Structure 1
Amino acid sequence: MHPFWNTIVKVFPTWLAPNLITFSGFLMVVFNFLLLTYFDPDFYASAPGHKHVPDWVWIVVGILNFLAYTLDGVDGKQARRTNSSTPLGELFDHGLDSWACVYFVVTVYSIFGRGPTGVSVFVLYILLWVVLFSFILSHWEKYNTGILFLPWGYDLSQVTISFVYIVTAIVGVEAWYEPFLFNFLYRDLFTTMIIGCALCLTVPMSLLNFFRSYRNNTLKHNSVYEAMVPFFSPCLLFILSTAWILGSPSAILEMHPRVFYFMVGTAFANITVSIFLLVGVGWRAYKCTQ
């Protein structure tokens, strides 16, 4: 997408602050989340026999999703173009990206939703964590290698999601009821794509970049404990939130899935910002020893 972003960034005036571009894209994602919260509060709108989300909503969400993805791609280019790159800008960008993960996943969930043709709220919870761990994996790389490698899975997923929103507006959610191949439903394709991008693109590339740094003797941390520190807090959050779901006497995830997803995503964003600060401090400490 870099050739496209390099063209788009030239449209912006040089006085436009990169952080404003970042925040504008984030607000579009939040707006999509709130819009579908209104039309699909409990994720049953796409199920057979329920009142569906209006077609125009899918068009708006699809356009705003692609615009938000584009702004997220050009904010850094605008910063370098105007010589205004700062550590705060990087923290602001990736901090909002970490929070946007929950908005992306929960919004696209409304395409299939719950019900006989949809995905259960617990499966979506697991898929949300697949996305969250994929996000943190890239920053684990930077923590250990000093370089932030971003996987192609993100670009592929965002372009695909935007396209699916527009298609949904044209053909209706009923089109997703039909099998994609034999008894393989479109909902299964949805879950397979999320897991497949993580297992086939994100994880292999992260491990490969880590191994290359190890082979070149450029790793920033020598012990296994220090290398794995960024995973401790996210894993603890996953364990505690999952225990809450399984032990909840009121079946909290079934009763309030949207609020629970929002809680998990917000807590995760809080943790990742702390990790970003840890990455920055560790990198500065490393440079000071050279």
Structure 2
Amino acid sequence: MNVMQSGWFSEVNDYLWPGVALSLEVEKVLHHECSKYQDILVIKTKSHGKALILDNVIQCTEKDEYAYHEMISYLPLCSHPNPKDVLIIGGGDGGAAREVAKHPDVERVTLVDIDNRVIEICKDYLPRLSLGLNNPKVSIHACDGLQYLKDHHGKFDVIITDSCDPVGPAEHLFEQPYYELLKAALKPGGIIASQAGTVWESIEQVKNTFELCKNTFPVAAYAVTAVPTYPTGQIGFVMGSLDDKTNFTEPIRIFSDDDLDEMEMKYYNDKIHRAAFVLPRFVEMKLSSNKKN
């Protein structure tokens, strides 16, 4: 199906969410190119501001991106007692780097994205997102995340995988060898968080990703957040910790309202942190079962 028709962009993907589509009215196509790795599209929409689309899948829109980027960043950061060194795999738009760099304990943020064109295009067209890429705490490496992990053992307190869905260049980020590399790249007591899909359309993918995490780390959990422009309006994260005493459901670092205002946080606080791990019964049953239900 043609995803651009009569002034509308429609996200259609029969592999990831068959029979479901989200459409945004387009005011202008700002940029379109095919990089070495993927199709990159930036549009100005009527209702959601600018949107970044990779391989015809919406990655973020200006209207609701903060819900995703704050949660994928602060769920792990506030579960770690002292997150000084943070690695982001993917995240070339800069949104996760922007949020991670706000945390007062974070001293160094390393962003590794295989596609330098995503980084450059977002700097040009999505300044509200990409401002994180210019933060002095942030260093950027345009290279393969797997190779970077292989070369950096025991270096990071927190690793965030801000990836596309498990097709194309991100497919290997949803496999067991990747989780073993994540584990090896952590310092003692380190924590990971990875984008893990939606239970409403991809529950088998969620279960499989959660199993990878659970098989690799002493403590694992699955959390959700609401992002209206993602399929079904919700997306989840798998979390893993090397510390068997970690309790993801109870944040270690709690920010005051004044702190959150100063950090310009729009979505995250300690209450929504706890709520993110409260799952519907069918999800709890699916993730606790070793069988496909």
The question of a shared fold, defined as TM-score above 0.5 by the shorter chain, is answered with no
TM-score, with structure 2 as normaliser: 0.24
> TM-score w.r.t. structure 1 length?
0.24
Q: Which has the larger radius of gyration?
A: 1
